[in-house]
Amino acid sequence: MPFETGAPQFGVNDAKVQVWTGPGTYSGTITDIFGIQMARVTLQVISAIANGDDSIIAAGARNTGAQLQMRFVGLNLTQMAVMTGKTVTVSASVSQLSYGAGGKMPYFGAVIKILSEETGDTWAYLPKCKIMSDFVPFQGEFGTFPTPELTVQAVPDATWGIVTFLTHPAEVAITVMPPANIVGVP
């Protein structure tokens, strides 16, 4: 049996983020996650088991959200500005991204692309994400490139849901958010 379009996937090829402004809409420039090394989507499920008569009599489960874990190379101020709701300021030849206490984390959308080993690609589109935990944006170590890693929470977007997986018969560049030619979640 041959593989489906976009499979088998190998590595991770590209990732982009953009500021989420409302159901199905984004603002600003779609921004590259520089040097994406790893991306992992975990679907979150809430469940319960009904016990009675010395047995399990029912089980219930619902998808509630998703988590996206990403690892990338170095500190890129532009991508961090999108994910943290800040603005990169430039003065003379110095670019600056500053954080103070009490700043709210914004929602943003994310698209991750994995190339197929045969033909095509597979995408994970998470339309509405937010950083919800501590992470290390800056690190240095002798003989090593820094590889920050963070986990974000995906919540339902009224138009696009929690996560959409897409395959293309030929590789497609990520240029817009939401991705072209997809159907909203009923």
Collapsing DSSP states into helix, strand and coil, what is residue 83?
A: helix
Boundaries of domain holding 41: 9-168
Kindly state whether residue 62 falls inside one of the protein's structural domains. yes
Kindly state whether residue 123 falls inside one of the protein's structural domains. yes
Q: Give 54-110 pLDDT, tens digit per residue.
A: 999 999 999 999 999 999 998 899 999 999 999 899 988 899 988 888 888 999 999
Kindly state whether residue 81 falls inside one of the protein's structural domains. yes
Backbone angles phi, psi at 129, to 5 degrees: -125, 160
Kindly state whether residue 175 falls inside one of the protein's structural domains. no
The pLDDT, as a whole number, for residue 2 is 66
Q: Give 149-184 pLDDT, tens digit per residue.
A: 999 999 999 999 999 999 999 999 999 999 998 988
Our count of domains for the chain comes to: 1
Collapsing DSSP states into helix, strand and coil, what is residue 14?
A: strand
Kindly state whether residue 37 falls inside one of the protein's structural domains. yes
